[in-house]
Structure 1
């Protein structure tokens, strides 16, 4: 199990459904890829069980296991290989940030049981955050 994960803002996503729809449109390969200009410094730790946690509108809602980092010399960018299966997580609010942010496993939201969408919706998590309660 990895001792570190990463978070990334899901730019352009308004909801978890956007992420799921985008991935469905890409097809159902075992591994799919996202592009990035800079590979995280601790990349070797991430491919040993680490996950990418998506922050959607200020709330972590799902994660995907990281399986590889591959450099594309012709285009000078990295491909981050992610297992195609999304794992839904408990909603956890996060402030805006740029680039990658590391996430310790102890600070990561727990996975939701299959078929459970949790008691806290992203809208409720945002409302609590905005009210300063959470």
Structure 2
């Protein structure tokens, strides 16, 4: 089973803002690179089908498959680059408490993907409220 990573999305309040931000960086179809200080010790498990789940304002809303994890530099200047698939997959809105940096996310704790059919699109705020009420 693949291992996932979860990280707060800072500077964007919605998935649409994240997409627009990346489009402004030179195009949506190129892979995205997320930079972090620490290289995951369990990187091999994440490369076996893992994804980066993003938390917006306390709610997990989407994920992106992880393509590559690379350590750049050595010693105190070392950092990690996580290359992500440009395709964003929306997931069932799931509350998540604040944390710093990133965390591992076990497959059993990962939210389910939402349907990719156009008729199945539901506003994010409505989905969050339904989830909080236990109706979805």
Tell me which interval the TM-score lies in, with the shorter structure as reference length. Answer: 0.7 to 0.9
Query: Which residue of structure 2 aligns with residue 99 of structure 1?
Result: 101
Partner of 1:67: 67
- 5+ residue gaps, structure 2, are none
Distance 1:127 1:109, change over 3 A: closer
Distance in 1 (CA, whole Å) between partners of 2:30 and 2:10 is 23
Shift of 1:94: 0.3
Deviation at 1:30, TM superposition (A): 4.2
What is the number of residues matched between the two proteins? 129
Q: TM-score, normalised by structure 1?
A: 0.83
Equivalent residue for 2:79?
77
- Note if contact 1:51-1:65 (Cα within 8 Å) is conserved in structure 2: yes
1:45 to partner: Cα distance: 0.5
Any unmatched runs of 5+ in structure 1? none
| 1:48, distance to aligned residue in structure 2 (A) | 0.8
Other-structure match for 1:88: 90
CA distance in 2 between counterparts of 1:17 and 1:30 reads 17
1:84-132 per-residue CA deviation (whole Å, 9 max, x = no partner) reads 10001110010001111111112111111113334x7346627975xxx
Runs of 4+ that moved beyond 3 A:
126-129
Length-normalised TM-score, structure 2:
0.82
> Any idea what the Cα deviations from partners look like across 1:22-76, whole Å, max 9, x if unmatched?
2222313442211111112211100110000000010000000001111221853
Q: Which residue of 2 aligns with 1:121?
A: 124
